[in-house]
Structure 1
Amino acid sequence: MSSKLDRRIKYTRLALQESFIKLMQEKPLTKITIKEVCELADINRSTFYSHYKDLYDLLNQIEDGIIEDLNQTLSSFNHTKNEEAIQMTETLLEYLVKNHESSQTLFSENGNPEFQQKVMMLAHQHLLNVLNADKQNLPINAEYLSLYIVNGSIHVIQHWLKNGVKESPKEIAELIITLANEGLSPFQQ
């Protein structure tokens, strides 16, 4: 009985989350109503309130799930090896492709800037740990370097998502790691 209930809860939450993301593709959060989300999900308002306090709670739960997934992925790799850095970045990009609709929406202009900041700070902290472990080989302050790499990478990923993920995750991962490790020199000939 409980697994049947769990499936219904998962289905309801998924339907509400997908409907909310679809509406966020069309307009900013401040213009979306609970009524619209419920109508699109074909779920009544009382059911919505049994799962979420409001739209901000719904958004936070979606964002927290993504942050948790990204953190687990980042934590599972050895960032100091170039091959693993490419593989880790490719894995993150594959996750974004698999969750393209929500990822593209959350990283768009209608997305929550606080979520984007959380993603950047998560990546910054992981990269900073790697850079600090290799501090003696760094010509500059690790914190500045990490911020520079993360911000550039996030903007590359936002552009890639916005333009329909035309390149493969592997191609974008290799580009990001090459830019992070070697700057523009490999591209200047």
Structure 2
Amino acid sequence: MDRQEDLTHIADTSIDPRTKRTKASLREALGTLLLEKSLEQISISELCKVAGLNRSTFYLHYSNVAELFGQIEDDLLADFRSTLLRYERQVSPRPYRREQPNYTASKGLLQETYTFMLRYRAFAPIILADRSGSRLLTILFNLGEEAFLAEWRSLETEPFQHEGYYFYNYIASGIIGLLKAWHSGGMNESPAEMAELTVKFMYC
């Protein structure tokens, strides 16, 4: 997949084409630099050099590199939120139960999750950082927890409701761990293969 498509496909289509190209170049450049160093180590001058733009052009859109990344985080969150909404009513809240396992829905959502991470692989080290340092991961984790616990409470009898909090953390932490391992291993397996492997672990 082309890197520019990889990092900019969710950009606002209503903005001026020239502005869109400029922002796409900056996002692409930031993604390239993040493969080599941390966000804090990237300067505006370095970013502009990689993007082929001057500093004055950068300042027309952003005040600093952190603001650029913050906008990218917002776009990534919106993109992933739409993915979650597509599968919200299909995923079983109790994947470890064998009575009515929803393998297809679980695998579909997981494959979308791995596809999302592959699409934004340049930003994976920050997306998958410890939740105390990753705004995106914290928001995604909390959104998932709210939805999961609401459905869990509607299905479980009172003696088991307190288990939902622990079960969600167990499953979510495991998936985050697999995403980290997949990324650090070079993402050689396809999203479909990783989804299949994850479902196997969840239902074993």
List alignment gaps of at least 5 residues for structure 1. none
- The AA in structure 1 aligned to 2:19 is I
CA contact (8 A) 1:79 1:130 kept: no
Equivalent residue for 1:116, pick from 137, 141, 147 = 137
Counterpart of 1:158 in structure 2 is 180
User: How far does residue 43 in structure 1 lie from its aligned partner after superposition?
Assistant: 1.0
1:93 and 1:42 map into 2 onto residues whose CA distance is 31
Structure 1 SS opposite 2:187: coil
Per-residue CA deviations over 1:107-149 (Å, capped at 9, x if unaligned) read 369xx53333333333333433443343239575211111111
2:147 and 2:81 map into 1 onto residues whose CA distance is 9
Q: Comparing both structures, which one devotes a greater share of its residues to helix?
A: 1
Per-residue CA deviations over 1:21-65 (Å, capped at 9, x if unaligned) read 221221122221111111110111121111112111111111111
Equivalent residue for 2:118, pick from 97, 101, 115 = 97
List alignment gaps of at least 5 residues for structure 2. 1-12, 93-101
1:82 and 1:115 map into 2 onto residues whose CA distance is 27
Q: 1:129 to 1:178 in 2, by over 3 A?
A: farther
1:45 and 1:13 map into 2 onto residues whose CA distance is 13
TM score, norm. by length of structure 1: 0.81
RMSD, aligned α-carbons: 2.6
- Within a 5 Å distance, the mapping from 1:1-189 to structure 2 comes to 6-77=16-87, 78-80=90-92, 81-103=102-124, 106-107=127-128, 113-136=134-157, 141-180=163-202, 182=203, 186=204
CA contact (8 A) 1:128 1:143 kept: yes
User: How far does residue 156 in structure 1 lie from its aligned partner after superposition?
Assistant: 0.5
Q: 1:29 to 1:136 in 2, by over 3 A?
A: same
Identity of aligned residues (%): 26
Alignment length (residue pairs): 178
Structure 2 SS opposite 1:26: coil
1:29 and 1:36 map into 2 onto residues whose CA distance is 12
CA contact (8 A) 1:71 1:122 kept: no
CA contact (8 A) 1:120 1:154 kept: no
Structure 2 SS opposite 1:51: coil
